[in-house]
């Protein structure tokens, strides 16, 4: 039924550019209703009983994920932390298994409980930490168990309409498919996980700014060799707001350990983004922005925001002129999420990002990507990197 809801919503989304502003509220209501009425809420999976023991599943992928969250702890089965806002930053960890039959670009979720680790992602062994120090000690011990070249942290910040289970699965899929050599850390702000609570989610992002700034301090551990940051959709607004505050107070990248900041399909007002950038030193950031002109979710967001373009819709050339590496994904075909999650749903893009993160770029040096790259898919299905003449 979920796929039927997506198909129904896509029918309404096609040709939206021709709608008048007066027609948009009704259209958005139809889109949201199609999604809400035709699909059930994704199952909460944190710590739920499994259909079969993990130790009988051969070749399952295994990941340990550390979590910092502004969510309130939950007593609901499988939820772990809810969509309500906490005034404190809470810390936890979980173990995730990836089924042996996993297909890159997919998250194999169960339609019914219990999940089968042979077929589905599972989230196991949830542990809440009582203090920040306990979280740091566990993270340090885990890092020290890895070869020095793998003592890197991937800080992942999810987007709008995402509950904790979905956020955990998104970062795990990204790490699995990119082959990231390091430890994933999820910063999960208090998204309601409900389609119609867009304004609630924006306010949750704004209320989490100070906590994300604190999180960057929490991760300043001697055992960490480097950091990469990946944020998606509305989560990019949170990263930019926190980065702006850090730039003003301590200067950008004071430890020199930050390598790449990837903003995927950023749901940020264009004018707001430009004002945020004014605080950054020219050329002093290694920011990769993934844009796509066919991102229908950002098209809806732009209408809700009064017609102001979102950064994730802009031509790569406009961002290039400001010294930002912009990668245009418009030619990558991805209908699974209204072309809004190509960074993880397209196997070709996932491989590209995986290669970029593995290159070990320095935050203060240009990465091994070229300004104005456009990603295209050839007739044979192979991905092509096209670099326009910028002279």
Query: What is the pLDDT, as a whole number, of residue 220?
Result: 92
Report the pLDDT averaged over residues 342-357.
83
pLDDT higher than 80, residue 388: no
Query: What is the pLDDT, as a whole number, of residue 37?
Result: 38
Query: What is the pLDDT, as a whole number, of residue 371?
Result: 34
pLDDT higher than 90, residue 277: no
Residues 6+ apart with CB under 8 A from 34: 5, 8, 9, 12
Residue 12 or residue 192, greater confidence: 192
Query: What is the pLDDT, as a whole number, of residue 13?
Result: 46
Average pLDDT, the chain: 82
Residue 325's pLDDT band, with cuts at 50, 70 and 90, is: confident
Residue 265's pLDDT band, with cuts at 50, 70 and 90, is: very high
Task: Quote the longest CA-to-CA distance of the chain.
Answer: 60
Query: What is the pLDDT, as a whole number, of residue 228?
Result: 92
- Contact by Cβ (8 Å): 47, 316: no
Distance CA 187, CA 174 (A): 15
pLDDT higher than 90, residue 149: yes
Q: What is the pLDDT of residues 94-129, one digit of tens each?
A: 999 999 999 999 999 999 999 999 999 999 999 999
Query: What is the pLDDT, as a whole number, of residue 335?
Result: 62
pLDDT higher than 60, residue 5: no
Residue 239's pLDDT band, with cuts at 50, 70 and 90, is: very high
Say what the pTM is.
0.85
pLDDT higher than 80, residue 89: yes
Residue 83's pLDDT band, with cuts at 50, 70 and 90, is: very high
Query: What is the pLDDT, as a whole number, of residue 179?
Result: 93
pLDDT higher than 90, residue 70: yes
Query: What is the pLDDT, as a whole number, of residue 109?
Result: 96
pLDDT higher than 80, residue 384: no
In percent, how much of the chain has pLDDT > 70? 79
- Contact by Cβ (8 Å): 296, 376: no
Report the pLDDT averaged over residues 210-219.
94
Query: What is the pLDDT, as a whole number, of residue 184?
Result: 98
């Amino acid at each position: 039924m979920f796929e039927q809801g997506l198909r129904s919503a896509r029918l309404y989304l096609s040709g939206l550019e021709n709608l008048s502003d007066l027609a948009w509220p009704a259209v958005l209501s139809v889109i949201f209703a199609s999604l809400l009425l035709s699909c059930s809420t994704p199952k909460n999976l944190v710590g739920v009983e499994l259909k079969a023991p993990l130790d009988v599943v051969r070749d399952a992928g295994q990941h340990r994920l550390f979590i910092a969250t502004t969510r309130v702890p939950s007593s609901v089965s499988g939820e772990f932390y809810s969509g309500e806002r906490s005034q404190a930053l809470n810390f936890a960890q979980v173990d995730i298994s990836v089924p042996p039959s996993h297909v890159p670009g997919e998250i194999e979720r169960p339609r019914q409980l219990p999940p089968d680790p042979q077929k589905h992602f599972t989230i196991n062994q949830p542990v809440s930490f009582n203090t920040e120090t306990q979280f740091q000690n566990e993270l340090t011990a885990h890092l020290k168990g890895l070869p020095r070249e793998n003592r890197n942290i991937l800080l992942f910040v999810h987007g709008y309409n995402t509950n904790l289970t979905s956020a955990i699965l998104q970062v795990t899929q990204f790490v699995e498919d990119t082959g990231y050599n390091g430890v994933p850390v999820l910063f999960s702000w208090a998204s309601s996980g409900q389609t119609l609570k867009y304004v609630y989610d924006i306010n949750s992002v704004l209320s989490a700014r100070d906590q994300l700034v604190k999180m960057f301090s929490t991760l300043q551990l001697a055992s960490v060799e480097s950091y990469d940051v990946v944020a998606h959709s509305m989560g990019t607004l949170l990263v930019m707001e926190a980065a702006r505050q850090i730039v003003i107070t301590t200067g950008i990248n004071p430890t020199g350990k930050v390598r790449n900041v990837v903003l995927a399909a950023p749901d940020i007002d264009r004018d707001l983004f430009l004002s945020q950038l004014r605080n950054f030193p020219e050329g002093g950031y290694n920011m990769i922005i993934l844009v796509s002109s066919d991102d229908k979710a950002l098209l809806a967001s732009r209408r809700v925001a009064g017609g102001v373009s979102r950064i994730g819709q802009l031509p790569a050339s406009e961002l290039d002129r400001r010294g930002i590496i912009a990668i245009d994904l418009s030619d990558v075909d991805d209908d699974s999420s209204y072309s809004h999650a190509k960074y993880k749903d397209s196997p070709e893009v996932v491989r590209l990002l995986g290669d970029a993160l593995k290159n070990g770029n320095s935050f203060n040096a240009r990465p091994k990507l070229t300004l104005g790259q456009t990603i295209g898919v050839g007739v044979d299905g192979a991905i092509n990197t096209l670099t326009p003449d910028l002279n």
